Amino acid sequence: MAATPPAPPARSGRNGSWPPSPSTESFSKFFESWITEQSRDLAALRAAADPTTPEADLRRLVDQVLGHYEQYYRTKAAAAANNVLGMFTPSWTSTTENLYLW
């Protein structure tokens, strides 16, 4: 059985963990900051695409990105537990994206 990779370090710019039951409005704010961090992650992944990048650095970066997605889905699940209908009509998505939710 494969060993579980270590948890990624805490991401800067946030106050630790998100509240356990965020409102739809606070999830919207979380989502905005999450998208900004995702853009930074993408830039870091592109920079690391260089064949000379050490594998350990790539592993650390991939673990960080996976941790970022895990944080997103945990926060989204908490928001859905608080207000499931608000997650089906999110204010942070476009009209076209809302079509695909239904």
Closest CA to 78 of 91, 87, 69: 87
Residue 77 lies in a domain: yes
Residue ranges making up the domain that contains 37: 22-101
Residue 30 lies in a domain: yes
How many domains is the chain partitioned into structurally?
1
**Reported confidence tier of residue 8, pLDDT bands at 50, 70, 90:** very low
Q: Which of 19-23, 24-28, 60-64, 95-99 has the lowest mean pLDDT?
A: 19-23
At 45-82, the pLDDT tens digits run 999 988 898 999 999 999 999 999 999 999 988 888 88
pLDDT number for residue 29: 87
Residue 8 lies in a domain: no
Residue with the larger pLDDT of the pair 14 and 53: 53
Residue 12 lies in a domain: no
Residue 64 lies in a domain: yes
CB atoms within 10 A of CB 56: 8
Contact indicator for 56, 6 with CB cutoff of 8 Å: no
Residue 40 lies in a domain: yes
